Structure 1
């Protein structure tokens, strides 16, 4: 991996259409699945951070991947039951680029269909 450390922000308040009112939300289930999948990948340069909201409520479950000096991507419409491995694979591709831009055809299908935003890197102060 080229990236020293990538951060994966996971919206834990995302609610799926079928989520019970008093049960765990889809975003929290996705967060748990990602932590378990990451534990099975020792040495992966990914930090998973739960966040209260990414403001993409109409496209839950939502994650954002960021790294210093790279583009940030926001992805939605992820399935908490099956997306964890695909997300980590996609972050591996992201980490292997100098700027965070993975060619469209090389992205996992879930990332191609689920991209919500691409945000330019923050400028580096001189």
Structure 2
């Protein structure tokens, strides 16, 4: 099966928390790494910037020949487990299309973009 990657911006902070260290993105990355199972087929890949600098937390989910999902304004407290759940739905889907009703509730308050596969 293709490689499925969860890209996590590790430098982002929302506008109200610009000076927080470690950044909200780094905190989310740590939560994801803590919760992820050792044998997970989903790769968590930290990135320095996803160009959404005032919209923490920012994550994209991508795989070859599948749409890419971009999540912004993720609530730090509830997102890690929901992102891993979304990653599993994405990986197990036939073509990467996730119906909105199946999207974990914690992610439904975030800003989401679905970018078609190339």
TM-score band, normalised by shorter chain? 0.7 to 0.9
Distance 1:20 1:112 in 2: 24
Matched, 1:88 2:84: yes
Q: Which has the larger radius of gyration?
A: 1
Residue in 1 that maps onto 2:99: 103
Alpha-carbon displacement from aligned partner over 1:5-62 (angstroms, at most 9, x marks no partner): 3100001111134547262100011111111111xx2322110111111112342101
Q: 1:115 to 1:22 in 2, by over 3 A?
A: closer
| 1:8 alignment partner, SS class | strand
Q: 1:50 to 1:21 in 2, by over 3 A?
A: same
TM superposition score normalised by structure 1: 0.82
Structure 1: which 5+ runs fail to align?
A: none
The alignment covers a number of residue pairs equal to 118
Q: 1:91 to 1:22 in 2, by over 3 A?
A: closer
Distance 2:19 2:52 in 1: 19
Structure 2: which 5+ runs fail to align?
A: none
